[in-house]
Structure 1
């Protein structure tokens, strides 16, 4: 069967028709490629970009958002402090140890030299890197022996000089040294100081920011948080100073006592001499006891013994008369 009309195949089309069909195919291919590129660009543009950190902080600091932000920052700083306190030497550097050393000494000196020895050691502390914390002196009396005490903080380099000067004026009876490791406490305090300082600085930046629009409530909340943070930072700094005093200097306490002569049963002991020496005190105690007895018996003598004696005398006279 023969076609009367030309077939649709490009092979049987005229030359100008074939050129038009070719142009149409190229246009369709270019349009499809353009659609694909537009679709990819649209997908890229549709992905939201994260806002800058300062804008996020400014947008989230207000009312409940302010408290949530502060809670997040506190949680971050606590985790940072904990990680630092657990293993501060992860980078391979040796860990510095902070030790609070305390020394207690008991020394003896002759009774007549106690005040002089106490004064010499106290003056020696003034010539060294030594901080005198407290001192006391009790001179000897007939009722009690004398004693003295010195309490000081000394730089480790001058401890030997102080103990050498003490050995020249007194005899050491006992010497006790104790040390307490304050390393973990110091590391924890330093980490808290660092984190609270960074938090305070960020609050100051927010107060100086004039671009972000904030209400008066937000500004007052930031100012209140800044004041609380600064007060907490001052308290932690004071705690760090106390730890520095405990770990950078040694605490030394010296107790002075008067030396007593031991009485033995040899040639130097005489019972008669000892009795004569104690005769005065024994006599005074006896007289005191007698006075106490008379004072206790005299009221009964007046109230009971005299009336009974008078009654006995009357009855005796009547019997003689009868």
Structure 2
């Protein structure tokens, strides 16, 4: 009996030790599951969901249409043109200084027309200067006048930003069409396909060259501004004589000028036709004269028998 009790006590002690070990293992396992993202990690789920939503939001924004760029003034394509009239003491000296102003600004003279008459000398110069120097060049030319004054000034601007952007886009599309046509041409299998593709590629290249020429012209107009400078001597008129106010005398003078111009044109046309009239008109006139003589002779012969018949009856 004593032995039996000792064995039972040993078994009870073993069960107790086993239960304590199992409780410690469960607590350790629960802690491990909490660290591994079990029930204890549940509060972190909303943060991860917010992160996922933040990552999805930009992706959804990519499907929205692209907005046009907001170009500032210095990024826009603007064509500047202007004209200025200045009265100077010496037209040739002022013209030389105007050329120096254009060259100093990095531009050049596109036209130079000078006249000298009893009414006074004048000169008209066309300057091409960089767009960023446009205002400064106009101001420097204005200072050439007497007492630093100018007769008149006119400034015009034209915003061609939209045309420039549209032209760039069209060139990119046309370049892509040319490249695809060349690839198809390289893989042509038959002679008919080769001829057809060559014609299509030539048409596309011609269209591309035309667009590129327009682009170069637009770039030239936006990069270099045009300034027309009119230099007048003290005795020269501000404008041409045709700019006088309307009236009877002005109308009479205009009508007389139109009449003389018409007569000049008529005399010129007659002078040009006179050799042809001599070469072709004289033979035609001789032919007509010969036909009339022949017709008159035939008529005379026909009348003679008719006149002789009554005489014989008598």
The TM-score, its normalising length taken from structure 1, stands at: 0.48
Q: Which has the higher helix share?
A: 2
The TM-score, its normalising length taken from structure 2, stands at: 0.49
